[in-house]
Homo-oligomer: A and B are copies of this chain.
Amino acid sequence: MNRPIVTLTTDFGPGPFPGLMKGVILGICPNANLVDLSHAVPAQDVRAGALVIEQALGVFPSGTVHLGVVDPGVGTSRRPMAAAALGMLFVGPDNGLFTPALMADPRARIHELRETALFRQPVCATFHGRDVFAPVAARLAGGLDLHRLGPPIQDPVLLTWPQPREENGVLHGSVLSADSFGNLDTNLPRDLVEAFLAGRRAEVRLGALRIIDIQGAYGQATAGQPLALFNSMDRLELAISQGNLYARLAPERGSAFGLAVEVRGVD
């Protein structure tokens, strides 16, 4: 029988907290197959965490349990939750961390975690990852049904994302995040950009930067040159070939989120 997959996404950094969660999971579900998705989510940045978990949708096998802990409200009245959406399961705080999956599946089922007998006892108010979310993820991996966890949630917290808009012949978008190479992911999906361009060449602006054309690969620009291309989420991405665009552009901001991107069609 296949071992149930449990992924972990947190803002815990390189220390022992993810390993401690794994210890709890393996104590309950010894055949869980644990996969780190990322522990490098910036501290308390729920939106960045949501963008990480979004990348796993459609990539992991159905039945995968995605455990997410980016949880500035740990120990307060924010609800702990679990959800079934898109054939996968999600466990973590009800703070928007699972927004992309919940938005993509109109039949998503969401339950509050109220059945305290399923938790590790005593529950520490600073580490629900270890004492609440890990044991519940382990039980879901072991086959427990969502409705056993607590009452349904009808009004989950959902994040809102900046939406692209077209105005005076310009497609306005914005940067969502920077990856470890300093490449900037935007909120502009390929189909939207291609429909907007309608066969014209693209001019992409980001601050003082102007990029002509959308390339097929990083290596199609000379090393050190900025370029635009569609990334693994099928969204417009801005990068520097063999370089780090984020480091050149915006490190003092602390986050690339929200940088304005404009696309124009040129002949």
Q: What is the bound-complex CA distance between A91 and B78, given in angstroms?
A: 41
Given known A217-B76, A219-B74, contact A59–B14 (CB-CB < 8 A): no
Given known A19-B36, A60-B27, A219-B74, contact A44–B126 (CB-CB < 8 A): no
State which residues 16-51 of A face B: CB under 8 Å: 16-20, 22-24, 26-27, 30-31, 33-40, 43-44
Q: What is the bound-complex CA distance between A72 and B243, given in angstroms?
A: 10
- Chain copies in complex: 3
Q: What is the bound-complex CA distance between A127 and B234, given in angstroms?
A: 11
Q: What is the bound-complex CA distance between A229 and B126, given in angstroms?
A: 8
State which of A1-9, A143-151, A160-168 sits at the interface with chain B: A1-9
A244 near B124: Cβ-Cβ < 8 Å = no
Q: What is the bound-complex CA distance between A75 and B179, given in angstroms?
A: 18
Classify chain A: how many residues form its interface, as a range.
35 or more
Q: What is the bound-complex CA distance between A130 and B56, given in angstroms?
A: 11
A26 near B60: Cβ-Cβ < 8 Å = yes
Provide the main secondary structure of the chain A interface: loop
B124 near A232: Cβ-Cβ < 8 Å = yes
Q: Is A180 interfacial (CB 8 A cutoff)? A: yes
B22 near A35: Cβ-Cβ < 8 Å = yes
Q: What is the bound-complex CA distance between A179 and B70, given in angstroms?
A: 15
Q: Is A255 interfacial (CB 8 A cutoff)? A: no
Residue in B closest to A129 when the chains form the complex, CB atoms? B232
A3 near B15: Cβ-Cβ < 8 Å = no
Q: What is the bound-complex CA distance between A73 and B244, given in angstroms?
A: 16
Instruction: Report B-chain residues with C-beta under 8 Å of the C-beta of A38.
Output: 14-16, 19
Most chain-B CB neighbours within 10 Å: which of A23, A31, A44, A216?
A23
Q: Is A125 interfacial (CB 8 A cutoff)? A: yes
Instruction: Report B-chain residues with C-beta under 8 Å of the C-beta of A5.
Output: 23, 26
* A240: min CB distance to chain B, Å: 11
Q: Which of B23, B59, B229 lies in contact with A20, CB distance below 8 A? A: B59
B229 near A125: Cβ-Cβ < 8 Å = yes
Given known A14-B14, A56-B23, A219-B74, contact A127–B43 (CB-CB < 8 A): no
Q: Which A residues lie at the B interface, using CB under 8 A?
A: 2-3, 5, 7, 9, 12-20, 22-24, 26-27, 30-31, 33-40, 43-44, 52, 55-56, 59-61, 64, 72-76, 78, 124-127, 130-131, 179-181, 216-220, 229-232, 234, 237, 242, 244
Pull 14 A–B residue pairs with CB atoms less than 8 Å apart, ordered by A: A2-B31, A13-B180, A15-B38, A16-B37, A16-B56, A22-B35, A27-B61, A43-B181, A43-B244, A74-B218, A124-B232, A124-B234, A126-B217, A131-B232
